[in-house]
């Protein structure tokens, strides 16, 4: 494995650790994107605000107070002060892709590519997890069916054993009554 692929893997791992689920969507916060780009958060926000028409609500949204509290409680950020009093932006995968059209530095392009790869990797992992869960459900259903069939077999064996025991008891009992001459 080359040094560049190790660096990309390390970068993507760092990015993946910053992607969080808010509103049932994977997003990355503006403070983390700015950190990866090596710029201040306010610089990133200014660029976004100048080009707000490129970022519909499905690409970017501001966090609510409850969402900020949730992010703080999950230790995604140390405290509300980390935002410096500003309401943080949450960028969806499409929002990150749109950032590449307004941030034109070489570093921004490299970071965008890494972030997009990471989002893709997470999406594939989620699909794989769903497939695994579905397969586990199938296995569980088959196990239940097999358990039911095994119980039926055991019940049948008990009946056969009971029937055999009755026949054995019948043949071993002392006979009473008249003895026939042909016996």
pLDDT bucket at 145, cuts 50 / 70 / 90: very high
Q: What is the pLDDT of residue 144?
A: 92
Q: In what order do the strands lie in the sheet with 60-62?
A: 20-22, 25-29, 89-91, 60-62
Write out pLDDT tens, residues 22-78.
888 889 999 888 888 888 889 889 999 999 998 998 999 998 888 888 887 776 666
Q: Regarding predicted confidence, which is higher, 118 or 141?
A: 141
Q: For residues 62 and 68, is the Cβ–Cβ distance under 8 A? A: no
Tally of CB atoms within 10 A around 71:
20
pLDDT bucket at 1, cuts 50 / 70 / 90: very low
Percent of the chain with pLDDT over 90: 19
pTM, whole model, 2 decimals? 0.60
Per mean pLDDT, which range of 30-39, 94-103, 137-146 is the poorest? 94-103
Q: What is the pLDDT of residue 108?
A: 75
């Amino acid at each position: 494995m080359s040094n560049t692929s190790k660096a990309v893997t390390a970068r993507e791992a760092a990015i993946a650790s910053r992607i969080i689920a808010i509103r049932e969507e994977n997003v990355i916060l503006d403070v983390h994107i700015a950190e990866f780009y090596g710029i201040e958060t306010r610089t990133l926000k200014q660029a976004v605000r100048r080009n707000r028409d490129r970022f519909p609500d499905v690409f970017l949204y501001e966090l609510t107070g409850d969402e900020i509290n949730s992010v703080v409680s999950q230790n995604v950020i140390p405290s509300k002060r980390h935002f410096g009093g500003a309401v943080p932006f949450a960028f969806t995968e499409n929002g990150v892709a749109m950032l590449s059209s307004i941030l034109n530095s070489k570093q921004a392009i490299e970071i965008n590519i890494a972030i997009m790869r990471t989002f893709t990797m997470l999406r594939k992992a989620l699909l794989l997890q769903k497939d695994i869960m579905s397969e586990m459900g199938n296995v569980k259903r088959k196990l239940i069916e097999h358990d039911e069939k095994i119980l039926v077999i055991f019940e049948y064996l008990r009946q056969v054993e009971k029937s055999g025991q009755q026949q054995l008891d019948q043949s071993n009992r002392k006979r009473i009554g008249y003895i026939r001459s042909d016996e």
